[in-house]
Amino acid sequence: MKTTRQIKIRRLPAIFILGCLLAFAPTVKISAASISINFCIGQNDTNSVDAGETATQFQSVDGTNWNNILLNAKAGAPTNFITASTGGNFIRLRDDSGETNAAQLTSTLLANKGYCNFSDLTPEPQLSSSGEAGMMNSYILIGNINGTNETFAVSGLGNAFTTNGYKVYLFFDIGAAGATPRTLGYSVSDGANSNIFWAGDTIGDNSDTNDDGIIEWKKATGSASGSATAGANYALFEGLSGPSFTVSLPTSTGTAGRGAINGIQIVANETATVGRGPVDVYLLGGQSNMQGKGKTNSIPAGQETVTDVLYYHSSTVAGSTSPNTLYTNVTPTGSASGFFGPEIGFANRIKELRSGVPMALIKYAVGGTSLINDWKPGTNATDTANWGLKFSGFVNTMNGGLSALRVAGYQPRIVGMLWQQGEEDAKNEADAGMLYESNLVHFISRVREQFAADIAPEGMRFVQGTVLPYAPAGGFVAAFFPARHAVNMAKFNTDENSGMSVAVSNTSTVVCDDIITPTKAQILSDGDEVHLAAEGQLMLGKLMAEHMQAPNFSSWSAGLTSGAAGDDDGDGFSNGLEFFLGTNPKSPDSQSAGPAWSPAQLDAGSGLTNYFVMSFRRSMTNNAAGFTWLVNGATNLNNWTDAAFTPVLVDRTNYTDGTATFRYRTARPVNADLQSFMRLRLLFATP
C-alpha cells in the first residue's frame, strides 16, 4: 500500500481597508423603563387597561404590558390576588418591554384579608374604552383591614431602575362614604428614602369631573393631615433607588384606617449616561453542572472573586448576589448558596487570556432539565408556543442581562456561549439520547438566530463540555445513564474539528474525564457520581476559556514569515498542516506527529479482516475558522472522487491536553485492490 500526504491550499481574495479610528465616549440617552399595575375586579373593558389602550399622562404604556391584577371578590368581601403568574407568595410583574419577570409583587393581602371594590364613582368615570378610566374604576384596600395592617411591596427591581433611581406614582380615588371627609396619608419607602403625601375626598368629589371618561389628574402635595390636598387622585414619590419598596397607609381619618389604591406606575429616571463602549458578552446555560455543586469554600484563596468582569445571573442560581442585577465582579453562584459552577474558573482564565478587554457573563441554569423538552428552542424566534420552559427562561435572562448592560452605558456584543448539559437526556437511550445530536445542532443554530442582533461580527463561539466522566462499573451513572456515550459522541461530532458531516462551525468541545474534572464522589466520597467537585468545576471553566479563546490561523501564525502554504521550519510540513496538527511551526521535528499507517485486523461486520489504517493526532482546540479537512481514498493518484473508496473512521481517542487521535481504514480490505491510497487534505480560505 502507498500513502500520500497532500495539502492543497485555496486562497481567497484579500481585501484590506485602511482608515482612521477615533476613540470617543458617546453620550447615550437611556429611555425610561417602567412597570404599570392595575387592580381590577374583572378583566374587561370597564376596569382593565386593554391592548390598544393606554393609561395616565405620566408614562404612556399600551395595555399589552400593563399588569392587570385580577381581584376576585364581591363588594366588601375578603379577596386575594388571582393571576396565572401567581406563584408562592408573589406575582411576577411585566415591564413595558414585555419582560415577564421584571419585578415581583408581594403582599400581606395574599393572606385573604384584603378588600377590593369598584370605585365610588357612579356614574363617573364613563365606562368607555378609556384605559385610564378602566384603571380608576376599581381598587384594592390597604391599611387597617380586619384589624391587620395590610401593606404590599414591589421587589426585585433590576439595574434599569436602581442604577439611576426611579419614581413611583400611586393612583387612588378615595370616594368618601357619606358626607364625612376622608383624609389619607400614603407612604412609599425603599428603606433608605420614604415620604408621605396626604389627600382628602368627599362624596361626589371624583376623578372624572366632566363625565367624559377622561381623568382629571390632581397631585397630592400635602405633607400632613391638616394640609391634605382635596380631590387629589395621585401622589408622586421620587428619590427612590432601592431594589424594593413598600406601600403603606400609616395613618388616616374618617376611613376606619384603610385606603384605596387603583393603580401604580414605577418609572425609571431618564438620564443621559456616558457610553462605556463595547463589552464582550459570554452566555452560560445548561443544567446542574452549569448551575454548580462545587463547594465555594474549596476555591483557592484569591480566586473566589473575579474583579472587573461584569456578571448578571438568574434566580435559578444562588450566591451572595441578588438575581437579575448587574455586578462589576464575578462571584460564586450555584445550585444553592455556598456552591458554584464553571463561572469562576472561566472568568479567571478568560481574564488572563484577554487582559484589558471589557467582558461580561450572563448565567442561567436549571438542574435536571433536558434538551429534548425543557430546552427545546422551537423552529424560530417567533415560535414561542413550542419553546421549552427553560429555553424561555434562558432567553428572558439573557435579554435582561443585555438590557442591564445597555442601561449601564455599555454596548454588548455576544462573542461566546458555554453549554454544560446532557445528563438528563442521557437517561433515555431510546429517545432523548439518540436524538441529542440533531437536537444539539438545531439548538446551536437557534441560539445564534435568537440573539443575532447582539452577536459580534466575528460570530458567537459555542463551547460545550462532555458529561458524566465518572462511571464506575456497577455504579449509579452506569446504571441510570445508558445514553451517556451517545450524548458525548454528539458533542464530539458537532465540534468544528470533528470532520463529521454534522460538525458545526465555531463550535468546540471540552473533554471532561474523571482525572482532571473529578466528581464529588471521587473527592468527597459522598456517592455523587454525577456532579463535579470544586476541583472539577474550576478545571471545566478553565478549559472552556481556553477553547473559547482558541487561536485561529491568523493569530496562531503571528511571527511566521510565510502563510499557510509556507514551511517556516523546513520540515516538509506546511504551516497550515502544523496548525492542524498542533505542532510547532518553528521546530523541524513535526513529522513524528504526522499521519502514519499500519496494517490492522478489524471487524467491519463480517469478522476480522485485514485493512490498512492511517492515524494522526491533531489539535482539537485551535479555532478551525477558515479551513476544512477531508480524508480521501483512491486506487490511483488521479481520481480522488470515487465514493466507493472513501476511508472509514475506525475510532477517535480524545485527550485532556486538547488533542485527539483519529484512525481511518481503507474502504476495502487489503487484497481487494492492487494498490490503495489515502490522503489527509486541508483546504484553507485565508483572509
Q: What is the DSSP string of 609-631?
A: EEEEEEEEEEESSS--TTEEEEE
Report the pLDDT averaged over residues 328-355. 95
Tell me whether residue 253 is in a domain: yes
DSSP string, 519-587: BHHHHH-SS--SSB-HHHHHHHHHHHHHHHT---HHHHTTT-SS-TT--TT-SS--HHHHHHHT--TTS
Tell me whether residue 211 is in a domain: yes
- Given a cut of 70, whether residue 112 has pLDDT beyond it is no
What pairs with residue 267 in β-bridges? 34, 167
Among residues 452, 30, 21, the alpha carbon closest in space to that of 275 is found at 30
Question: What range defines the domain where residue 662 resides?
Answer: 595-686
- Given a cut of 90, whether residue 113 has pLDDT beyond it is no
63-77, 405-419, 469-483: which has the minimum mean pLDDT? 63-77
What SS3 state is found at 69?
A: strand
Residues 192, 213, single domain; the answer is yes
Residues 601, 677, single domain; the answer is yes
Confirm if 672 and 641 have CB atoms less than 8 A apart: no
Count CB neighbours of 178 within 10 A. Answer: 9
Domain end, chosen from 205, 240, 270, is at 270
Among residues 304, 301, 302, the alpha carbon closest in space to that of 541 is found at 304
- Given a cut of 80, whether residue 203 has pLDDT beyond it is no
Tell me whether residue 298 is in a domain: yes
Amino acid letter, residue 405 = L
Strand 277-286, strand 359-365: pairing: parallel
* CA 478 – CA 482 distance, rounded (Å): 7
pLDDT score at 66:
87
Tell me whether residue 583 is in a domain: no
pLDDT score at 88:
44
* CA 96 – CA 34 distance, rounded (Å): 6
Confirm if 260 and 268 have CB atoms less than 8 A apart: no
pLDDT per position as a tens digit, 418-453 = 999 999 999 988 788 789 999 999 999 999 999 999
Residue with the three cell numbers 482539537: 620
Residues 279, 251, single domain; the answer is no
pLDDT score at 27:
34
* CA 677 – CA 2 distance, rounded (Å): 6
Confirm if 260 and 119 have CB atoms less than 8 A apart: yes
Distance in angstroms between the alpha carbons of the first and the last residue of the chain? 37
* CA 192 – CA 384 distance, rounded (Å): 40
pLDDT score at 257:
65
Which cell numbers hold the place of 121?
A: 364613582
* CA 540 – CA 532 distance, rounded (Å): 9
Confirm if 313 and 364 have CB atoms less than 8 A apart: yes
pLDDT per position as a tens digit, 212-241 = 556 778 888 888 888 888 888 899 999 999
The CATH number of the domain holding residue 511 is 3.40.50.1110
- Given a cut of 90, whether residue 83 has pLDDT beyond it is no
pLDDT per position as a tens digit, 35-80 = 999 887 654 556 778 777 778 778 878 788 888 877 654 333 333 4
Residues 314, 365, single domain; the answer is yes
Confirm if 233 and 202 have CB atoms less than 8 A apart: no
- Given a cut of 70, whether residue 8 has pLDDT beyond it is no
Amino acid letter, residue 240 = L
Tell me the pLDDT band of 587, cut-offs 50, 70 and 90. confident
Confirm if 677 and 634 have CB atoms less than 8 A apart: yes
Which cell numbers hold the place of 175?
A: 370616594
pLDDT score at 9:
29
Tell me whether residue 10 is in a domain: no
Tell me whether residue 9 is in a domain: no
H-helix or E-strand spanning residue 78: strand 78-79
SS3 percent helix, strand, coil of the chain, rounded to 5, is 20, 30, 50
Tell me the pLDDT band of 557, cut-offs 50, 70 and 90. confident
Confirm if 317 and 291 have CB atoms less than 8 A apart: yes
Residues 277, 266, single domain; the answer is no
Q: Which string of b and e fits 60-89 if b means at least 16 CB within 10 Å? A: ebbbebbbbbbbebeeeebbbbeeebbeee
Amino acid letter, residue 537 = Q
* CA 396 – CA 473 distance, rounded (Å): 41
Q: What is the DSSP letter of 327?
A: B
Q: What is the DSSP letter of 99?
A: -
Tell me whether residue 343 is in a domain: yes
Report the pLDDT averaged over residues 168-194. 79
Residue 143, sorted as left (phi over 0), alpha (psi -120 to 50) or beta, turns out to be left
Report the pLDDT averaged over residues 554-572. 86
Query: What average pLDDT does the chain have?
Result: 81
pLDDT per position as a tens digit, 517-549 = 999 999 999 999 999 999 999 999 999 999 998
Tell me whether residue 108 is in a domain: yes
pLDDT per position as a tens digit, 619-643 = 777 766 667 778 999 999 899 989 8
Residues 175, 141, single domain; the answer is yes
pLDDT score at 278:
94
Residues 295, 439, single domain; the answer is yes
- Given a cut of 70, whether residue 378 has pLDDT beyond it is yes
* CA 164 – CA 286 distance, rounded (Å): 33
Amino acid letter, residue 31 = S
Residues 602, 676, single domain; the answer is yes
Amino acid letter, residue 559 = G
Which cell numbers hold the place of 235?
A: 401622589
Angle (deg, nearest 10), helices 343-353 and 534-548? 40
pLDDT score at 333:
96
Residues 310, 264, single domain; the answer is no
Top-confidence residue, 97 or 308: 308
Residues 344, 315, single domain; the answer is yes
Top-confidence residue, 178 or 381: 381
User: How many domains, in total, are found in the chain?
Assistant: 3
Q: Which residues contact 547 (CB under 8 A, 6 or more apart)?
A: 463, 508, 509, 510, 621, 658
Domain end, chosen from 518, 550, 582, is at 550
- Given a cut of 90, whether residue 305 has pLDDT beyond it is yes
pLDDT score at 24:
33
Domain end, chosen from 270, 295, 313, is at 270
Tell me the pLDDT band of 373, cut-offs 50, 70 and 90. very high
Which cell numbers hold the place of 219?
A: 397631585
Among residues 628, 686, 339, the alpha carbon closest in space to that of 499 is found at 628
Residue 477, sorted as left (phi over 0), alpha (psi -120 to 50) or beta, turns out to be alpha
Phi, psi dihedral angles at 65 (to 5 degrees): -110, 15
Among residues 153, 262, 168, the alpha carbon closest in space to that of 208 is found at 262
* CA 363 – CA 465 distance, rounded (Å): 16
Residues 407, 464, single domain; the answer is yes
The CATH number of the domain holding residue 636 is 2.60.40
pLDDT score at 151:
83
Tell me the pLDDT band of 5, cut-offs 50, 70 and 90. very low
Which cell numbers hold the place of 215?
A: 381623568
Amino acid letter, residue 519 = T
Tell me the pLDDT band of 3, cut-offs 50, 70 and 90. very low
Residues 215, 298, single domain; the answer is no
